[in-house]
Amino acid sequence: MKQPKYRRVLLKLSGEALSPGAGGILDFDFLTRVAGQIRRCTESGVQVAVIVGAGNIWRGRQGTGMDHCRADHMGMLATVINSIALQDVFLRERLDAVVLSAVEMKAFADTYTARGAIRALEEGKVVILGAGLGTPYFSTDTAAVLRAAEIRADCVLMAKNIDAIYSADPKLEPGAVRYSELTYRQIIEKNLRALDMTATIFCMDNRIRCHAFGLADPENIYRAAMGEPVGTVIRCDGEVPAAT
C-alpha cells in the first residue's frame, strides 16, 4: 500500500463546490464520491478532519443592509447544515463520522474542543467541524487553519472550485499564470486570491502547510494526502521546495 505523505490532515471543502449548480443546495451523488476518497485516505492511515464552507447556502456578505454579526451567524448555521449532510453521507459510506460544532447546539452536534477532536481522530473517526470559529468576521479559511493548528494537522487540504492558484481569475484572463508551489510571502507580495489575508498571515506565522486543488475531481483529495503533485502547494519560507 502506498504510504501517505501526511498522518493527519484538515480538509477544507468549498460549499459552492458541493452544490449541483442547477437548483438545490447539495449534490448527494457528488458527496458520495467525496466520501469514497476520504475513506481511501483513512484506509491508508490518514486521520481526516473536515471543515466545510456555506457558499451553496448563504454567505454573510449576501445580507446587504443586515447587521454584519447576524449575517455571519446565518453563515455559521449554514455550515452546520452542510456538516450534518456530510455526516449522513459518510455514515452511509461506512465512515464513522462525528460533527463537532463551535457553537453549542446539543440536539444536532457535539461541542468542539481540540482535545475531543484529537481523541475522535485517534479513534479512527472522521471529524466534521461546523459553525466555523463560532464568531463573526472570520471566514471558514481562517477557521480551517486555526483548527488545523489546534488539532496539530500536518497539512490543510484546500479543496476549491478551481484547480489551482493562479495569478488572476483564469476564466476572465486566459493568460493567468498557474502556480504549482508558492510561499505565503509570495501570496502577500503578489496579492493573490489564495486564502483570505488573516488565514495567510496565520499560516505564515505558525508554519502551517496548505495544499490547494480542485474538487471537481474528488480523487484529488486522496492524491493530495498522498503527496502527489496536484494543484498548488503553499509552503513556509525556508522550507525546501518539493521539486528539489
Calculate helix-pair angle for 114-122, 140-150, nearest 10 degrees: 70
Q: How many residues comprise the chain?
A: 244
Calculate helix-pair angle for 219-226, 28-43, nearest 10 degrees: 20
When pLDDT is cut at 50, 70 and 90, the band that residue 241 belongs to is low
With 90 as the cut, is the pLDDT of residue 226 above it? yes
When pLDDT is cut at 50, 70 and 90, the band that residue 244 belongs to is very low
Nine cell digits for residue 212? 490547494
User: pLDDT of 166-188, one tens digit each?
Assistant: 999 998 999 999 999 999 999 99
Instruction: Give the percent of the chain with pLDDT over 70.
Output: 95
In the prediction, which pLDDT does 21 show? 73
Arithmetic mean of pLDDT, 91-109 = 97
With 90 as the cut, is the pLDDT of residue 20 above it? no
> What domains are there in the chain, each with its CATH number?
8-235 (3.40.1160.10)
Nine cell digits for residue 65? 443592509
| Rg, the chain, Cα only | 17
User: pLDDT of 34-54, one tens digit each?
Assistant: 999 999 999 999 999 999 999
In the prediction, which pLDDT does 239 show? 66
Name the nearest CA neighbour of 133 among 148, 122, 152, 153: 148
Distance, in Å, from the CA atom of 120 to the CA atom of 16, rounded to the nearest integer, reads 27
Nine cell digits for residue 192? 493573490
In the prediction, which pLDDT does 243 show? 45
Q: Return mean pLDDT, the chain.
A: 93
Arithmetic mean of pLDDT, 156-165 = 94
In the prediction, which pLDDT does 194 show? 86
When pLDDT is cut at 50, 70 and 90, the band that residue 61 belongs to is low
User: pLDDT of 2-15, one tens digit each?
Assistant: 789 999 999 999 99
Across the chain, which distance is largest between two alpha carbons, in Å?
54
pTM: 0.93
74-96 exposure pattern, b = at least 16 Cβ within 10 A, e = fewer: bbbbbbbbbbbbbbebbeebebe
Arithmetic mean of pLDDT, 147-161 = 96
Arithmetic mean of pLDDT, 85-92 = 97
In the prediction, which pLDDT does 199 show? 95
